[in-house]
Amino acid sequence: MTSHLNHERAPIFETLSNYARTGIYGFHTPGHKGGRFAAPELFELVGRSGLALDLPAMTATDNTFHPTGCVREAQALAADLFGAGETFFLSAGSTLGISTALLATVPPGGAVVIPRNVHRSVVAGLVLSGALPRFARHEVLDECGALGVSLAAVREALDTMPQPSAVLLTRPSYYGIARELAAVVRECHTRGVPVIVDEAHGGHFKFLPPGGPPPALEAEADIVVQSCHKTLGSLVGSAQLHVGRDSLISAERVQHALNLLQTTSGSFLLLASLDAMRRWLWQEGTSLFAEAVAAASKLADEIDAIPSLRVFCAARDARLAEHAQDPLRLVVDVSGAGWTGFDAERFLRTEHRVEDEMADHRNVVYVLGPRDDEAARSRLLAGLRAVSKQPRSNPKARPSSLGPQPSTSLLQPPIPPLAMSPREAALARQTRVRRASATGRTCAEMVMFYPPGIPLLMPGETVTAETLAVCQQLLAAGATPYASDPTFETICVVQ
């Protein structure tokens, strides 16, 4: 790390605290005036000190558009800790970072190579930038969904003319699986193509003990976006975008793209949480995550010992030789007891007061971390033992065969043909039609199901009978549709 930087400091937090102590009365926004004009419930939610620190961008507090003070100092400290050339704090989540990355790298009409298992923020970035998606093939396993894109698949996508403007990869997956990345980055860089990594769920990789997935910045990715609130302890909605030290994309270009999208009223509470998080991670991050991994390993062993249940372990699967697994992402297969993950999720929530990150047709997935509540771990174990003792005969939970999946597989739905660019479709005149009569029409919205929130239809894609069949299967399995019509009886299409 750079020796002249003082990681004992938290510049944004200190600036806000010092300003609040001056006694200056602000005849400016926000309207709650440090808590003087605030509903009583706000004091319960945030507290008087939190309201006092909820300040706007101004001379005294700096800004994120052209930072010259505490924001600039805090971002430099974060870049130093995480191994970036430059870091940008985000107060609108990784969604803002992904859209920024696409705007900074792909011109309108340019192609970006992406896998299908992308977050909805990537689709939003396609609409904003005018970029065209070029899908890279990836494999799937019934046990853990989509895998990382292989080097061969990336080469195939790069060989397709015209050459893409960027490659964007999701790493890790929602199940904590991360493919080896360095060789892919080298291949892209030899062709002058930058690599963007959506590392929303992997910000903590930097602090894991040896054996965990290495962070994308170590593989020399050009732009890396992390949702710090997911695993690193900052407030919900806070994230950061890193520009690699030898990035093909300049930090100036990223700042320009970011300034087109970010608000002038970004939350300084979120920025301060990133700042305080960074200082704490510099002080104790390695030891905290070492303890968390040890506790997670113990919990996994206890669950693995429960009859009919199985904890997914990439190290035991020869098919995942090029993948590493996040040791803090616990994937519990309940299908051996005849349960679907959806049913187990509801049972554990209502009967044992534990909530998962997501569930699917066979798994429940938990995000573990430093200082997890021991009593909650005990409730989780008790709940899973109860699942094991109440076997069900449920055809939805039977493990499907491995290998090639049918075209309507829940694991790897067919990619619909692209009729027009996502931007054109999203901004076109639109109409709403019944789902049953949507086949052959051009979709004008994103259609996805949670979990895991991967778009089955993007704006500009042709609605096909195969895709609708997958949607019907997901509805029947208990997945929640995310579309403009929450019942998914209708679809928004281009008029």
pLDDT in tens, 430-443: 999 999 899 999 99
Tell me what pLDDT residue 364 has: 97
Is 338 part of a structural domain of the chain? yes
Give the whole-angstrom CA distance, residue 143 versus residue 402: 9
Query: What three-state secondary structure class fits 168?
Result: strand
Torsion of Cα atoms, 115 then 483 then 476 then 471, to 10°: -40
Quote the pLDDT of residue 229. 97
CATH assignment of the domain containing 446: 3.90.100.10
Task: Please determine, for residue 399, whether its predicted confidence score (pLDDT) is greater than 60.
Answer: no
125-153 pLDDT per residue, tens: 999 999 999 999 888 888 888 889 999 99
In a domain, 240, yes or no: yes
Q: Is residue 26 part of a domain?
A: yes
* Residue-averaged pLDDT of the chain: 92
- pLDDT of residue 408 exceeding 70, the answer is no
Task: Give the span between the Cα atoms of 495 and 386, in whole angstroms.
Answer: 52
Q: Within this chain, do residues 234 and 380 fall inside the same structural domain, yes or no?
A: no
Among the listed residues 429, 423, 442, 445, the one whose alpha carbon sits nearest the alpha carbon of residue 107: 423
| Domain shared by 268 and 317, yes or no | no
CATH of the domain at 374: 3.90.1150.150
CA trace torsion 292, 296, 298, 300 (10° rounding): 180
Among 260, 281, 302, give the residue marking a domain's end: 281
Q: Is residue 434 part of a domain?
A: yes
Q: Is-above-0.75 flag for pTM?
A: yes
Q: Quick one: 179 and 325 in the same domain? A: no
Using CA atoms, how far apart are residues 377 and 299, in angstroms rounded to an integer? Answer: 8
Using the 3D structure, point to which of 227, 250, 281 is the last residue of a domain: 281
> Does a structural domain hold residue 184?
yes
3-state secondary structure of 226: strand
**What per-residue confidence (pLDDT) applies to 485?**
93
Between 356 and 393, name the one with better pLDDT. Answer: 356
**Looking at this protein, which amino acid is placed at residue 88?**
F
Supply the pLDDT for residue 145.
83
- Does 324 share its domain with 250? no
The answer to whether residue 406 scores a pLDDT higher than 50 is no
Q: How many domains does the chain have?
A: 3
CB within 8 Å of 474: residues ≥ 6 apart = 410, 449, 481
Q: Of 135, 127, 132, 113, which Cα lies nearest the Cα of 412? A: 135
If you count DSSP H runs as helices and E runs as strands, how many of each does the chain have, helices first? 15, 20
Q: Domain check: are 277 and 362 in the same one?
A: no
Q: How many whole angstroms separate alpha carbon 411 and alpha carbon 406?
A: 9
pLDDT tens figures, 176-229? 999 999 999 999 999 999 999 999 999 999 999 999 999 999 999 999 999 999
Could you tell me if 378 and 432 lie in one domain?
no
Range(s) of the domain holding residue 108: 11-281
- pLDDT tens-digit readout, 443-479: 999 998 876 667 899 999 999 999 999 888 888 877 7
Same domain, 96 and 226: yes
- The beta-strand segments (E) located in 269-339 are 310-311, 323-325, 329-333
Hunting for tokens 């309108």 — which residue is that?
Answer: 108
Query: Could you tell me if 36 and 168 lie in one domain?
Result: yes
pLDDT of residue 297 exceeding 60: yes
Whether residue 4 is contained in a domain is answered as no
Residue 415 lies in a domain: no
The confidence band for 400, taking pLDDT boundaries of 50, 70 and 90, is very low
The β-bridge partners of 133 are 112
Is residue 413 one of the residues assigned to a domain?
no
- Domain final residue pick, 348, 363, 397: 397
- Closest to 95 (Cα-Cα) out of 286, 253, 225, 244: 225
Tens-place pLDDT, residues 233-263: 999 999 999 999 999 999 999 999 999 999 9
| CB atoms near residue 480 (< 10 Å) | 14
Residues 341 and 430 in one domain: no
The CATH number assigned to the domain holding 118 equals: 3.40.640.10
Q: Return the amino acid letter for 365.
A: V
| β-pair type (310-311, 329-333) | antiparallel
Spatial separation of the C-alpha atoms in residues 310 and 276, rounded to whole Å: 38
Three-state DSSP class for residue 319: helix
Q: Do 316 and 463 reside in the same domain of the chain?
A: no
Residue 47 shares a structural domain with residue 143: yes
> Is 212 found in the same domain as 97?
yes
